[in-house]
Structure 1
């Protein structure tokens, strides 16, 4: 069995990744696959925390572009992340992993309130913790929430699990000559305006020296290889 390089990690999942080939919603096949990938690092005795977006159901920024008040739109986006978190919790439990969902917005009937000491206790007891509802505040993305929670729980690294293999020097969908980046600093990401995470999240990670790994979650085994220290995707750090 491979040996993990990290003891505690944060994994940021995009809501869009759960759609599969659908136009919206959650694909049972995809969420089952994601759960099995998380199981691969859980079995390495790694303490795992997760933050998942809500873009497969509702995206606050998109809603505000239609004329909706940004605060109302972002609150809807936060609720979408709770739906995804509950679905992922169910998938993880079916894979045999004890799991807890903690929400930044109080909803005691379906999720624990976010309490740092309780979250740390869950992690120490080898429970997977899913942080839902972002930061609980509008105008902040789930990227920023992932960095914030990673700092609070003292995660050693944040893995952003996406649908692309790595970070590129320009948008590969629009530029056929886009070149992959294997290693870069937070400052360079900001200066070059690369779309690794939003600028608030990247700045917060830079200020607190939190390394970020960009990996393709849809490639089987990637997350396990990354946790074991293999060069996968893009590493953002000093």
Structure 2
């Protein structure tokens, strides 16, 4: 039961990966971190953790630095990608601070060793953290250039035996066109991995979709701006698109 005495809904999944963009943390700002927005998302994560769900997270770094954009401006691609990885660590630490301010035990686990601020990635240790109810935030991508945080999220979700990836966006699912630019865009309730790739729907990058497909890992795309949306979907409610085989 919750604090009001009501019975808690039984969640659909036991262990999930939540993937959000770095831009989701900057609120209405054009850059950086917006602390009230970080705290709002942390409360969403807390509400799901309180259902007994084990949560992994991967946060992008685009609010601080995007490696591909840096490369396009003439920076050497590998260097730009490493800078992007460091940006994801900054975002992970901000989310950790917000979650622990709410009393949620959290571990930031980095694919690049930086022992003073984050744990190194050791799969068995990370699994144990999840089993103890800690939220694991995986930072620094895969530790390799040329791979996005979408691919990192799919890789870690498979390694952690997550049952699903939740992709938090600004819209409530997958559309055939950007609904923010095209009001008549059509939303899909469900769609296959292959259709996402063939139609180039930009749910995640192609490597991430292919990795999810090869391991039969469903992806739920939902609006992170909808209060209670993350928890609601786990309780079988809300609007979303599921990508599956």
| Band the TM-score falls in, shorter-chain normalisation | over 0.9
2-structure distance, mates of 1:143, 1:229? 25
When the two chains are superposed, the root-mean-square deviation of aligned CA atoms in Å is 0.9
| Structure 2 CA distance for aligned equivalents of residues 175 and 232 of structure 1 | 19
Residue 199 (structure 2) aligns with? 192
Question: What does residue range 98-177 of structure 1 map to in structure 2 within 5 Å?
Answer: 98-177=105-184
Say whether 1:42 aligns with 2:46: no
CA distances 1:95-154 after superposition (whole Å, capped 9, x unpaired): 111100000000000000000000000000010000000000000000000000000000
Contact between 1:19 and 1:30, CA under 8 Å: does it hold in 2? yes
Q: Write the distance in 2 (CA, Å) between the matches of 1:228 and 1:127.
A: 21
C-alpha deviation, 1:89, in angstroms: 0.3
Q: CA deviation at 1:216?
A: 0.5
Unpaired runs of 5+ residues, structure 1, are none
- Asked whether the 8 Å contact 1:225–1:232 carries over to 2, the reply is no
User: Following the alignment from structure 2 to structure 1, what is the Cα–Cα distance between the partners of residues 232 and 120?
Assistant: 33
Q: Name the SS of the counterpart of 2:220 in structure 1.
A: strand
> Could you list the runs of 5+ residues in structure 2 that have no partner in the other structure?
1-7
Pairing 1:1-238 to 2, within 5 Å after superposition = 1-238=8-245
Q: CA deviation at 1:226?
A: 1.4
Report the CA distance between 1:219 and its aligned residue.
0.6
Q: How many residues align?
A: 238
Closer/same/farther in 2, CA of residues 55 and 167 from structure 1, 3 Å limit: same
State TM-score, norm by structure 1.
0.98
Query: Is the CA contact (8 Å cut-off) linking 2:229 and 2:238 kept in structure 1?
Result: no
When normalised by structure 2's length, the TM-score is 0.95
Q: Does the Cα contact within 8 Å between 1:6 and 1:228 map onto a contact in 2? A: no
